[in-house]
Amino acid sequence: MNEINVPRPNSLDAYWMPFSDNKYFKGDTSRMLARAEGMSYYTPEGKEILDGTAGLWCCNAGHGRVEIKEAIQKQAAILDYAPTFQLGHPIAFEAAARIAEMTPEGMDRVFFTNSGSESADTALKIALAYHRARGEAGRVRMIGRERGYHGVGFGGMSVGGIGGNRKQFGALLPYVDHLPSTHLPAKNAFSRGLPQHGVELADVLENLVALHGAETIAAVMVEPVAGSTGVLVPPVGYLKRLREICDKYGILLIFDEVITGFGRIGTNFGAERLEVTPDIMTMAKGLTNAAVPMGAVAVKNGVYDAVVDGVAGGIEFFHGYTYSGHPLAAAAAIATMQLHQSEDLPGRARAIEPYWQDAMHSMRDAPNVIDIRDFGLIGGIELASRPGKPGARAMDVFRRCFDAGVLVRVTADIVALSPPLIVEKPHIDRIVGTLADAIRAEAA
């Protein structure tokens, strides 16, 4: 019998870690996670780390949910994998139907992917296919937003507007332009919820229409609340204005709901809370509580009909993935959505939001805090950068928090928080208390 080569836990060379300082981590492995349950991770040594970030914005129902685990196990014993190219399996259709029950009215068609990045690129391709099917093949331009994040595929990265994610890779997709960021710290610093200033920034879309011509623009893609770029909350009326302008010129509006979906801001999707229905909506993360990778794109029925009915016969949309609608992912998604409904996780988030908001803004007078932003169960605490060392201050705070038993997330010099939706007041007190102590210790 051949010897099985079992990877050893102290062998770190093979794994090229994503979005990480590989050299630093592999020289200091004290921040390993080995187990998770409820609101917490545990290190290999058994130390508890309270999860202030829902993993990576994704474990909305908390960790180790038995209902999801058992659904995956049961499905693995029945059907481990089946292709969905010209074939189907029942559980994928059930998962899509359950998603359609949660999406805004009239968005009843669901295309499965495996991640938020794939969802973003899929949404862009759907927009192109839609206009071509309607005889407007000249609509090829995509409009994103500065400081937007739509994953790391070439489509989403091109439409996105985070410089660090783009500059390393040279030329990206052509025919892309960007709206300005809605971040106006001089007017909106320390806003509670939606900031009051900035609705006029949506009118820049009118300028882009004048520059390029409406007949060349396929879609506008934005996050209802930008998360990965540092918690940028839309100004009052901003998204409604974008919707109006898109309708005026026949431009599709795409919401990237990878973070804001599945209860994060107190409703099933951000579109519901913010009272704006897009034409296309991307999702991932909370869809399966991160137990199995899965993403999806929901579209208005008219978008689906235009693409599918625009072809007399045969394949209508030349796109898809080997793992689209994977049986184990579908099982995890169904179990997750059942949990969201039975435990009313969006309602729980909405109920505790005022306490969360007060806790976030209690750090206003901490050293080097220059802004605090919040919406739903999301918080962003922006720190003044050290001269010549952008990002260093927040990274120091991140490490101090972890060592003190709380997981936070940093992007540049912004500490981002997004706990599981099962969070309770003592958890919030501990997260905020530990973070405030770390900010003060860093400034000492």
Mean pLDDT of the chain: 96
pLDDT in tens, 212-252: 999 999 999 999 999 999 999 999 999 999 999 999 999 99
Q: Is the dihedral of CA 207, 212, 214, 220 positive or negative?
A: negative
Residues 6+ apart with CB under 8 A from 28: none
Is residue 2 predicted with pLDDT exceeding 50?
Answer: no
**Quick check: 68 and 335 in contact, CB under 8 A?**
yes
Report the predicted TM-score, pTM, of the whole model to 2 decimal places. 0.96
Is residue 8 predicted with pLDDT exceeding 70?
Answer: no
Q: What confidence score (pLDDT) does residue 357 get?
A: 98
Q: What confidence score (pLDDT) does residue 10 get?
A: 60
Q: How far apart are CA 418 and CA 420, in angstroms?
A: 7
pLDDT in tens, 347-374: 999 999 999 999 999 999 999 999 999 9
Is residue 168 predicted with pLDDT exceeding 70?
Answer: yes
pLDDT in tens, 93-111: 999 999 999 999 999 999 9
Q: What confidence score (pLDDT) does residue 9 get?
A: 56
Q: What confidence score (pLDDT) does residue 360 get?
A: 98
Is residue 6 predicted with pLDDT exceeding 70?
Answer: no
CA 19 to chain centroid, in Å, comes to 15
pLDDT in tens, 13-64: 889 999 999 999 988 878 999 999 999 999 999 999 999 999 999 999 999 9
Compare 255 and 163 and report the one with higher pLDDT. Answer: 255
Burial class (CB in 10 A: 0-12, 13-18, 19+), 220: buried
**Quick check: 264 and 286 in contact, CB under 8 A?**
yes
Summarize the confidence of residues 155-176 as an average pLDDT: 92
Residues 6+ apart with CB under 8 A from 391: 385, 410, 412, 413
Is residue 375 predicted with pLDDT exceeding 70?
Answer: yes
Is residue 1 predicted with pLDDT exceeding 80?
Answer: no
Is residue 268 predicted with pLDDT exceeding 50?
Answer: yes
Tokens of 97: 């139907």
Q: What confidence score (pLDDT) does residue 171 get?
A: 82
Summarize the confidence of residues 112-135 as an average pLDDT: 98
Is residue 4 predicted with pLDDT exceeding 70?
Answer: no
